[in-house]
Amino acid sequence: MVAFDEMRPDGSTVRGPYSNYEKWLNAQDAARLVEKAGDAEQVFRKTGITFAVYGEAEAAERLIPFDIVPRIISGQEWRRLTQGIEQRVMALNAFLDDIYHRQEILRAGRIPKELIAENEAFQPEMIGVRPPAGVYTHIIGVDIVRTAENDFFVLEDNARTPSGVSYMLENRETMMQLFPELFQAIKVKPVENYPQLLRQSLARVQPEGCRKASPRVAVLTPGIYNSAYFEHAFLADQMGVELVEGSDLRVVDGRVAMRTTEGYKEIDVLYRRVDDGFLDPLTFRPDSALGVAGIMDVYRAGNITIANAPGTGIADDKAIYSYMPEIVEFYTGRKPILGNIPTWRCSEPDSLKYVLEHLHELVVKEVHGSGGYGMLVGPAATKKDREAFAKKLKAKPNNYIAQPTLSLSTCPIFTKSGLSPRHVDLRPFVLVSDKVQIVPGGLTRVALKKGSLVVNSSQGGGTKDTWVLDD
């Protein structure tokens, strides 16, 4: 299966979106580009753009690899993508509201009741609770893959605490620093206003009882040992808001307040990067030291906005993903603009049988997995790996889904011997308040290993700057 190359589909002719970039590239000295690639690494090292790798003490902090060749998307392609993303995001929000209230989609038989009732991402504590402004998913990262000129598919919906936006912003800043002349020659839509858009979007979903011209926003982090701590600190700094840990917060007179040098100050909107289970030891895990005791009572009383809302994990569960075409149609009345990847639910005996017989050609994922962990890429796995994974599947089939191995599109990366194609995906970032805003671009993740389909940074992938042309 030959992958669609986004720059040169037939190996020679350059596609329209890349034409101006190629003219610039042809005029460059190869030695200068090698030097610039080295400069990019130094910029990232100096800025401290790292991520943590759990379970690897000798490499606890890693530099995320950055490639200096941008991924370029035409304005027309982007308009189609944004229509599909907006439709999907609206459907996800409607689904969450329904699941925690009337459950009409279950009564209509479009989704099996047990898929919700027996799902660990479903939070019964949210039943009957409607978040401020009715928004559940304030920040969403929608993972999109491309397989042909006009074929885009959603690989995953990240509706809990999507990460990676700091890399999108730093990638652009680095490219503008290294190649300012490129941005004068090619009109690229900006992404650097994302922190301001995020701050404004969060302010617009302040609680009913707040009604301040400038509500107080804070970012809740699990702390410095979290893999995405750099991003938590980065976003708080860029938005001009406080970065807090659970120990900095307490409930005072029915409001959540943070400790300051002038005493405790009320928080109106909390952008949390802490998982549901750790949010409130009085409601969820009693052993949690990362959250705030009593915050769920404040939330249920409508005195704080938590972004994203507790219980949103049910929307990015991979078993629920397989029903997204039905979900989109149920809540919007239209077929999805962006398709799903065919998915086998291993909880179903016939699907499990098929998956076990075709492990060598499928990708199998944990329904609650992320970061490329807990998955099997059949074609790249050894017979021994597949046999071991088959035992896991048989022992806990409800925990897995399977998908065909897609021929992801490729974009060129810069190597010392020239440009070389590598597989990519794209995570656009969506902000939801009283409107939906999609930043023009997103995080392009690239599998730096030749032939690899795994783009996750935790599995050796890198990133690229993503250009949406202003055409």
Beta bridge partners of 431: 139, 437
On whether the CB atoms of residues 460 and 449 are closer than 8 A, the answer is: yes
Mean pLDDT, all residues of the chain: 91
Q: Check whether 30 has a pLDDT greater than 80.
A: yes
Q: Which of 355, 385, 404 is the last residue in one of the domains?
A: 404
Strands of the sheet containing 249-252, edge to edge, are: 249-252, 255-260, 263-266
Residue 434 shares a structural domain with residue 371 = no
Does 118 map to a domain? yes
On whether the CB atoms of residues 73 and 469 are closer than 8 A, the answer is: yes
On whether the CB atoms of residues 189 and 77 are closer than 8 A, the answer is: no
Residue 67 shares a structural domain with residue 201 = yes
Does 33 map to a domain? yes
Could you identify the residue written with the tokens 């809990």? 160
Residue 160 shares a structural domain with residue 97 = yes
pLDDT, tens digit, 9 for 90 and up, residues 337-351: 999 999 999 989 999
pLDDT, tens digit, 9 for 90 and up, residues 64-122: 889 999 999 999 999 999 999 999 999 999 999 999 999 999 999 999 999 999 888 99
Dmax over CA atoms of the chain, in Å, equals 68
pLDDT at 453: 76
Does 177 map to a domain? yes
* Domain CATH for 382: 3.30.1490.270
Q: Which of 371, 404, 437 is the last residue in one of the domains?
A: 404
Residue 318 shares a structural domain with residue 368 = no
Residue 268 shares a structural domain with residue 252 = yes
Residue 21 shares a structural domain with residue 161 = yes
Q: Going by DSSP bridges, is the β-strand pair 339-340/151-158 parallel, antiparallel, or unpaired?
A: parallel
Q: Which of 383, 404, 425 is the last residue in one of the domains?
A: 404
Does 6 map to a domain? no
Does 369 map to a domain? yes
Count: domains in the chain: 2
Residue 65 shares a structural domain with residue 127 = yes
| For residues 317-326, average pLDDT | 91
Provide the domain limits for residue 52. 16-341+406-468
Residue 126 shares a structural domain with residue 194 = yes
pLDDT at 380: 83
pTM of this structure: 0.91
Residue 313 shares a structural domain with residue 357 = no
On whether the CB atoms of residues 192 and 439 are closer than 8 A, the answer is: no
Does 1 map to a domain? no
Tokens read off for 182:
């490129």
Q: Which amino acid is it at 386? A: R
Residue 254 shares a structural domain with residue 387 = no
Residue 238 shares a structural domain with residue 330 = yes
Does 9 map to a domain? no
Could you identify the residue written with the tokens 């035409």? 74
Q: Check whether 409 has a pLDDT greater than 80.
A: yes
Tokens read off for 441:
């671009």
CA gap 265, 256 in Å, rounded:
8
Q: Check whether 426 has a pLDDT greater than 80.
A: yes
How buried is 300 (Cβ within 10 angstroms: 0-12 exposed, 13-18 middle, 19+ buried)? middle
Does 8 map to a domain? no
Residue 107 shares a structural domain with residue 158 = yes
307 CB contacts (<8 Å, ≥6 apart)?
135, 138, 139, 202, 205, 269, 270, 271, 272
